Amino acid sequence: MQRLWSGPFAAVGLVPGLILSVFFPNSGLAGEATALFSTAEPGIAAETAPTAGLGGLAASATTPGTGESLGSERTLEMGQSSGAAMTTGSGDSVGADPVRVLEDGTGSVPAPTAGDSLDPTPFRMSGGDRPPSSSPERPLIGLPIDLPQTAGVKDPIFSILVGLVEANIYGTLTRDRLKMQLERRHQKSHLPYDSVREVTRLPKGDGRPTEEITVHFDGRLKLPIPYSILGYNPGSFRASERCVFREWDLGTVTLQHARKVDDRVETVPVVLENVHLFGLDEGEVSLDIDGWLDRMMGGNLDDTDIVGLMLCRYQGKWMGVAMGYNKDHRGRSGALDFGEDKVVFPSPDEIKTVGRTMRSRVEGFLTAVRAPSADRS
């Protein structure tokens, strides 16, 4: 089993706060007496990984109609059960848009043409069509001096990372390039990023409509958890030197949340917009809580193995969700509000439904993409 850790969706490196928080672990963060993966999910015990093809983009149970594939404008309808249906609009495709470059956060501009002034600093983007994975060299273009930043995301690093994902920009963002951006705009982040050497986002190039995000740290990490629990540092983060995530751009996703009202149970929709789902494909990340605190907090604070991260907008706000399992393989999830720059605690029941359902989806997606080519539908 992969051991995974949560830091500030920072790992979400490119993927959302949680994703993002995973990429920027350090003892310099101040926080509430909670952790990203502290929320137990009642009634979900010893969940098992979904079967091959469940929720996979090429799986028969969830494959769109003829000529359709999952794209930025579709809507996915997901229930809490593993067999929930996914529907898309005709003709959509994932990642088919040309590479775009954003200016200083005010909007998008066309990809640069000959003669445009480009920043030579080391954020590289692939130009033109998606290169095949076997290509030894990828065409590269520069970036405007200002990296895109997403409105409604408080921390500037999170704002940049979300902006790069939302703009569908490919390339390598180095520590020095990120530092230069913050200095140019006179911005400060409470996220320490000195341990991150670079983050690369590229199309996978294996025939699947997915992206791949690779995070390189300076070495194998073991750092203090950057949140105080009852005035005590609760444990440590661990991560391998290299972590690889698969990214799926799902657009708008509608989940069904069952809640009890008086003596009856009713189902209400939970609508998530601009959904980017990230599955840990290679590497290790773990959150290890000190034993005495783990015993005292019970299911509210656990060692957690991460299987997926998600970036989305919910009720108009950007948030990151991290999903995983504790040592007993019980589901755990947590959310980070990017607008407020704080952990959502306690986690509302509908967010638990989101964590539970999207964890199942990302496991199904990973199972599908790892299947041999001959087995793909």
- Cβ contact 242:258 at 8 Å: no
- Cβ contact 7:196 at 8 Å: no
User: For the stretch 190-210, what's the b/e string if a residue is b when 16 or more beta carbons lie within 10 angstroms of its beta carbon?
Assistant: bbbbebbbbbbbbbbbeebbb
- Residue entry with tokens 């907008």: 313
- The domain limits of the chain are 10-375
| Tens digits of pLDDT across the chain (377 residues) | 333 222 323 333 333 334 333 333 322 233 322 333 334 444 333 333 333 333 333 333 333 333 323 333 333 444 333 333 333 333 333 333 333 333 222 233 333 333 333 333 333 333 333 333 333 344 334 456 788 999 999 999 999 999 988 888 888 889 999 999 999 999 998 776 888 999 999 888 777 778 999 999 999 888 776 555 556 666 677 788 999 999 999 999 999 999 988 889 999 999 999 999 999 999 988 777 666 655 666 555 567 788 889 999 999 999 999 888 888 888 888 888 999 888 787 789 999 999 999 999 999 999 999 887 644 54
Residue 144's CB is within 10 A of a number of other CB atoms, namely: 17
Give the model's pLDDT for residue 256.
Answer: 96
Sort 37 into a burial class: Cβ within 10 Å, 0-12 / 13-18 / 19+. buried
Tell me which residue of 324, 299, 369 sits closest to 56, measured CA to CA. 369
Q: What span, in angstroms and rounded, lies between the C-alpha atoms of 376 and 371?
A: 7
Residue 300's CB is within 10 A of a number of other CB atoms, namely: 15
Give the model's pLDDT for residue 225.
Answer: 64
Q: What span, in angstroms and rounded, lies between the C-alpha atoms of 202 and 133?
A: 10
Is this structure's pTM higher than 0.85? no
Q: What span, in angstroms and rounded, lies between the C-alpha atoms of 45 and 41?
A: 8
Give the model's pLDDT for residue 358.
Answer: 97
Cα-trace Rg, the chain = 20
